[in-house]
Structure 1
Amino acid sequence: MKSVLNILRLEAGLSVLISLCFVVLYENDILLVGQWGADRIADYYWAIFMEVATICLIPLSLRLFKWKHVASAIHSDGDKAMLRWGTLRLAMLCVPMMLNTWLYYQFVNVAFGYMGIIGLLSLAFVYPTRTRYIQEMK
């Protein structure tokens, strides 16, 4: 149990750290801001894609462990299934969060920034703690 929790915490922490590194590097002008800013068509398509992905993946990740298939897999396989499904749940939140952070600085579109913040806040509801681990194993 402890090793699974440590791996899941590392995954969550690294994704937040990567997003934070994007912010620090772009805000200190180490990386160039707005490289894709002139391409309004790409901005529009990326915004639509990320809005749909963020809106769909957040509730999906929050309810993932309530599905019968996932719950039975966790009960039967134990730590192995918890690591697999926990990693999937974190990926459904963290990948769009990191991508939204990067896209915010590429297009300088606040919609990406807001979606990244929403992803970060949603991560608090699934952060792997010992108590949550025990509850989800029941």
Structure 2
Amino acid sequence: MEKKIDRLLRLLKIEFAVTWVVIICLIAGYENGILEEGTLIGNSRAVYIAQLTGVLLAICLIPMSLRIFNLSLTKYIRNLDIDSALKSYRRWSEVRIILLLVVAVFNISLYYWTMDTTGLLCGAMAVLASMFCVPGKKRLLSELDLLKEEEES
């Protein structure tokens, strides 16, 4: 079981690192001129719709990504056997980080498309929220109630 937990943690840490690499590469692409900046400047209707979409994504997906994991954990994952619980924990961790990645990528791109700080602020909120998703052994054990079982044995 210890091997499975370590393998799961290694995979989750890699996935977490990949999300940060994607965000950094996106920013580097815009800053170095690889990706085109200012594509929506001058089109006020498109800017408004894009900013509204970015804000709504941030308002809806950031809290949902943090809350949905907790709900699935308390209602579903803790009632499974250890193998199924670890698979489900991985799946929900991936869903959570993907939701945050969608918000961050869209809003950071929105900032560069419009050169307006609304997208930057919403993207920063998503990146900051991802810090609540950093995988760790102690966290995994406590969320799956395995910490109590290890202390008892």
TM-score higher than 0.5: yes
Unmatched 5+ residue regions in structure 1? none
Partner of 2:149 in structure 1? none
Partner of 2:34 in structure 1? 30
Partner of 1:78 in structure 2? 85
Output the CA distance in 2 between the equivalents of 1:117 and 1:9: 20
Question: What's the TM-score once normalised by structure 1's chain length?
Answer: 0.88
Percent identity for Structure 1 against Structure 2: 28
Per-residue deviation, 1:43: 1.4
Partner of 1:106 in structure 2? 113
Inter-CA distance 29–66: structure 2 relative to 1 (3 Å threshold): closer
> How many corresponding residue pairs?
137
- Structure number with greater CO (CA < 8 Å, separation at least 6) is 1
After the TM superposition, which parts of structure 1 deviate over 3 Å for at least 4 consecutive aligned residues?
none
Partner of 1:121 in structure 2? 128
RMSD: 1.6
Output the CA distance in 2 between the equivalents of 1:43 and 1:4: 41
Unmatched 5+ residue regions in structure 2? 146-153
Question: What's the TM-score once normalised by structure 2's chain length?
Answer: 0.80
Output the CA distance in 2 between the equivalents of 1:85 and 1:132: 15
Partner of 1:135 in structure 2? 142
Output the CA distance in 1 between the equivalents of 2:30 and 2:53: 23
